[in-house]
Amino acid sequence: MQDVEVINILQNQLSFSTKNISDLKIFKNELLTANTKHNLISKSTEINIWHRHILDSAQLVKFIDFSKGSLSDLGSGAGFPGLILALFNSSEDFHVKLYEKSPVKRAFLEDISKKLSIKVQIYGNIYEESIGSDYIVTRAFKKLDTIIQVSREIAKKPHKLIILKGQNAEKDLKKAFKKEKYDYKLENSITNVDSKIIIVDFKK
Protein backbone atom coordinates (compact mmCIF):
# COMPACT_ATOMS: atom_id res chain seq x y z
CA MET A 1 0.00 0.00 0.00
CA GLN A 2 1.39 3.39 -1.03
CA ASP A 3 1.91 6.15 1.54
CA VAL A 4 -0.74 8.33 -0.10
CA GLU A 5 -3.26 5.49 0.21
CA VAL A 6 -2.51 5.14 3.91
CA ILE A 7 -2.93 8.88 4.48
CA ASN A 8 -6.24 8.74 2.63
CA ILE A 9 -7.46 5.96 4.96
CA LEU A 10 -6.25 7.86 8.03
CA GLN A 11 -8.20 10.94 7.02
CA ASN A 12 -11.34 9.48 5.46
CA GLN A 13 -11.88 6.29 7.45
CA LEU A 14 -10.24 7.03 10.79
CA SER A 15 -10.89 10.79 11.07
CA PHE A 16 -7.28 11.93 11.44
CA SER A 17 -7.09 15.69 10.93
CA THR A 18 -4.80 17.62 8.61
CA LYS A 19 -2.79 18.62 11.70
CA ASN A 20 -2.58 14.95 12.75
CA ILE A 21 -1.19 14.01 9.33
CA SER A 22 1.35 16.84 9.47
CA ASP A 23 2.50 15.65 12.91
CA LEU A 24 2.69 12.05 11.69
CA LYS A 25 5.00 13.14 8.87
CA ILE A 26 7.29 14.84 11.38
CA PHE A 27 7.13 11.79 13.63
CA LYS A 28 8.03 9.49 10.73
CA ASN A 29 11.04 11.60 9.73
CA GLU A 30 12.28 11.87 13.32
CA LEU A 31 11.89 8.11 13.81
CA LEU A 32 13.81 7.28 10.66
CA THR A 33 16.60 9.65 11.69
CA ALA A 34 16.78 8.16 15.20
CA ASN A 35 16.72 4.67 13.72
CA THR A 36 20.06 5.28 12.02
CA LYS A 37 21.62 5.34 15.50
CA HIS A 38 19.34 3.05 17.48
CA ASN A 39 17.32 -0.01 16.60
CA LEU A 40 13.89 1.47 17.34
CA ILE A 41 12.15 -0.42 14.53
CA SER A 42 13.40 -3.16 12.22
CA LYS A 43 15.38 -1.66 9.33
CA SER A 44 13.47 -3.91 6.92
CA THR A 45 10.19 -2.17 7.83
CA GLU A 46 11.39 1.40 7.33
CA ILE A 47 10.20 1.52 3.72
CA ASN A 48 6.67 0.52 4.82
CA ILE A 49 6.48 2.64 7.96
CA TRP A 50 3.15 4.30 7.05
CA HIS A 51 1.41 1.00 6.45
CA ARG A 52 3.28 -1.42 8.71
CA HIS A 53 3.55 0.76 11.81
CA ILE A 54 1.45 3.94 11.63
CA LEU A 55 -1.76 2.61 10.06
CA ASP A 56 -1.54 -0.65 12.01
CA SER A 57 -1.53 1.40 15.22
CA ALA A 58 -3.99 4.06 14.08
CA GLN A 59 -6.78 1.59 13.30
CA LEU A 60 -7.34 1.14 17.04
CA VAL A 61 -9.03 4.55 17.26
CA LYS A 62 -12.20 2.78 16.04
CA PHE A 63 -12.44 0.88 19.32
CA ILE A 64 -11.69 3.67 21.80
CA ASP A 65 -13.95 6.36 23.25
CA PHE A 66 -11.66 9.37 23.63
CA SER A 67 -14.25 11.57 25.36
CA LYS A 68 -12.96 10.70 28.84
CA GLY A 69 -10.88 8.13 30.69
CA SER A 70 -7.38 6.80 30.10
CA LEU A 71 -5.31 4.36 28.10
CA SER A 72 -2.09 2.49 28.85
CA ASP A 73 0.18 1.08 26.15
CA LEU A 74 2.31 -1.84 27.32
CA GLY A 75 5.69 -2.00 25.60
CA SER A 76 5.38 1.13 23.47
CA GLY A 77 8.71 0.74 21.72
CA ALA A 78 9.01 3.60 19.24
CA GLY A 79 5.42 4.65 19.96
CA PHE A 80 3.26 1.93 18.45
CA PRO A 81 0.41 1.97 19.07
CA GLY A 82 0.31 4.31 22.09
CA LEU A 83 1.98 7.45 20.74
CA ILE A 84 -0.11 7.31 17.55
CA LEU A 85 -3.27 7.14 19.69
CA ALA A 86 -2.02 9.99 21.89
CA LEU A 87 -1.31 12.07 18.79
CA PHE A 88 -4.89 11.48 17.62
CA ASN A 89 -6.41 12.28 21.02
CA SER A 90 -7.71 15.84 21.32
CA SER A 91 -9.62 15.50 24.60
CA GLU A 92 -8.35 17.11 27.80
CA ASP A 93 -10.33 14.46 29.68
CA PHE A 94 -8.56 11.47 28.11
CA HIS A 95 -5.05 10.52 29.21
CA VAL A 96 -2.50 8.27 27.50
CA LYS A 97 0.29 6.48 29.35
CA LEU A 98 3.19 4.75 27.63
CA TYR A 99 5.12 1.95 29.34
CA GLU A 100 8.54 1.16 27.87
CA LYS A 101 11.46 -0.37 29.79
CA SER A 102 14.19 0.57 27.26
CA PRO A 103 15.84 3.89 28.26
CA VAL A 104 16.79 4.54 24.63
CA LYS A 105 13.22 4.12 23.40
CA ARG A 106 11.84 6.10 26.33
CA ALA A 107 14.20 8.95 25.44
CA PHE A 108 12.89 8.94 21.88
CA LEU A 109 9.28 8.94 23.10
CA GLU A 110 10.00 11.86 25.41
CA ASP A 111 11.77 13.87 22.69
CA ILE A 112 9.12 13.39 20.02
CA SER A 113 6.19 13.96 22.38
CA LYS A 114 7.73 17.29 23.42
CA LYS A 115 8.50 18.27 19.84
CA LEU A 116 4.90 17.61 18.76
CA SER A 117 3.32 18.78 22.05
CA ILE A 118 1.64 15.40 22.52
CA LYS A 119 0.01 15.04 25.92
CA VAL A 120 1.34 11.75 27.23
CA GLN A 121 2.92 10.26 30.35
CA ILE A 122 5.90 7.93 29.95
CA TYR A 123 6.85 5.23 32.43
CA GLY A 124 9.40 2.41 32.69
CA ASN A 125 8.87 -1.21 33.69
CA ILE A 126 5.16 -2.04 34.06
CA TYR A 127 5.88 -4.32 37.01
CA GLU A 128 7.03 -1.28 39.00
CA GLU A 129 3.87 0.67 38.26
CA SER A 130 0.18 0.56 39.10
CA ILE A 131 -2.00 0.54 36.00
CA GLY A 132 -5.45 2.04 36.40
CA SER A 133 -6.72 2.67 32.89
CA ASP A 134 -9.98 2.16 31.03
CA TYR A 135 -8.09 0.72 28.06
CA ILE A 136 -4.89 -1.31 27.87
CA VAL A 137 -3.40 -1.68 24.40
CA THR A 138 -0.38 -3.59 23.18
CA ARG A 139 1.21 -4.46 19.87
CA ALA A 140 4.49 -6.31 20.34
CA PHE A 141 4.77 -6.68 24.08
CA LYS A 142 4.82 -10.33 25.17
CA LYS A 143 3.06 -13.61 24.51
CA LEU A 144 -0.71 -13.50 24.78
CA ASP A 145 -0.97 -15.49 28.02
CA THR A 146 1.51 -13.10 29.68
CA ILE A 147 -0.45 -10.08 28.45
CA ILE A 148 -3.62 -11.60 29.90
CA GLN A 149 -1.85 -12.18 33.22
CA VAL A 150 -0.58 -8.60 33.37
CA SER A 151 -4.00 -7.29 32.45
CA ARG A 152 -5.67 -9.33 35.21
CA GLU A 153 -3.13 -8.89 37.98
CA ILE A 154 -1.57 -5.45 37.52
CA ALA A 155 -4.51 -3.47 36.19
CA LYS A 156 -6.46 -2.04 39.11
CA LYS A 157 -9.88 -1.46 37.55
CA PRO A 158 -12.28 -2.85 34.92
CA HIS A 159 -10.90 -2.22 31.45
CA LYS A 160 -10.83 -3.25 27.82
CA LEU A 161 -7.68 -5.03 26.67
CA ILE A 162 -6.95 -4.40 22.98
CA ILE A 163 -4.21 -6.48 21.35
CA LEU A 164 -2.85 -6.21 17.81
CA LYS A 165 -2.14 -9.81 16.93
CA GLY A 166 -0.74 -11.55 13.86
CA GLN A 167 -1.54 -15.06 12.72
CA ASN A 168 -2.81 -17.73 15.14
CA ALA A 169 -4.86 -15.25 17.17
CA GLU A 170 -7.68 -17.70 17.86
CA LYS A 171 -5.27 -20.53 18.69
CA ASP A 172 -3.38 -18.29 21.13
CA LEU A 173 -6.65 -17.15 22.70
CA LYS A 174 -7.76 -20.70 23.39
CA LYS A 175 -4.42 -21.43 25.03
CA ALA A 176 -4.49 -18.25 27.10
CA PHE A 177 -8.08 -18.86 28.22
CA LYS A 178 -7.62 -22.54 29.01
CA LYS A 179 -8.39 -22.15 32.72
CA GLU A 180 -10.64 -19.09 32.75
CA LYS A 181 -13.01 -17.74 30.13
CA TYR A 182 -13.42 -14.06 29.36
CA ASP A 183 -15.66 -12.07 27.07
CA TYR A 184 -13.77 -11.22 23.92
CA LYS A 185 -14.23 -10.49 20.25
CA LEU A 186 -11.99 -10.61 17.21
CA GLU A 187 -11.87 -7.78 14.70
CA ASN A 188 -10.17 -7.91 11.31
CA SER A 189 -7.04 -5.82 10.85
CA ILE A 190 -7.11 -3.36 7.97
CA THR A 191 -3.39 -3.80 7.33
CA ASN A 192 -3.14 -7.59 7.01
CA VAL A 193 -5.79 -10.15 6.10
CA ASP A 194 -4.18 -12.72 8.42
CA SER A 195 -3.98 -10.40 11.44
CA LYS A 196 -6.59 -9.80 14.09
CA ILE A 197 -7.42 -7.29 16.78
CA ILE A 198 -8.35 -9.00 20.03
CA ILE A 199 -10.63 -7.07 22.39
CA VAL A 200 -11.12 -8.57 25.86
CA ASP A 201 -13.56 -7.07 28.35
CA PHE A 202 -12.24 -7.41 31.91
CA LYS A 203 -15.11 -6.48 34.18
CA LYS A 204 -13.31 -7.52 37.40
CATH code for the domain of 69: 3.40.50.150
How confident is the model at residue 179, as a pLDDT? 65
Evaluate if residue 133 carries a pLDDT over 80: yes
How confident is the model at residue 153, as a pLDDT? 80
Residue 25 burial (C-beta neighbours within 10 Å; 0-12, 13-18, 19+): middle
- What would the mean pLDDT of 98-116 be, rounded to a whole number? 97
- What would the mean pLDDT of 30-50 be, rounded to a whole number? 96
How confident is the model at residue 204, as a pLDDT? 61
> Are the beta carbons of 108 and 135 closer than 8 angstroms?
no
How confident is the model at residue 81, as a pLDDT? 97
Evaluate if residue 146 carries a pLDDT over 90: no
How confident is the model at residue 155, as a pLDDT? 86
Per the structure, the count of domains in the chain is 1
pTM, full prediction: 0.94
**How far apart (Å, rounded) are the C-alpha atoms in residues 38 and 79?**
14
Q: For residue 87, name the pLDDT band (cuts at 50, 70, 90).
A: very high
Give percent of the chain above pLDDT 90: 71
How confident is the model at residue 177, as a pLDDT? 72
User: What residues make up the domain containing 198?
Assistant: 3-202
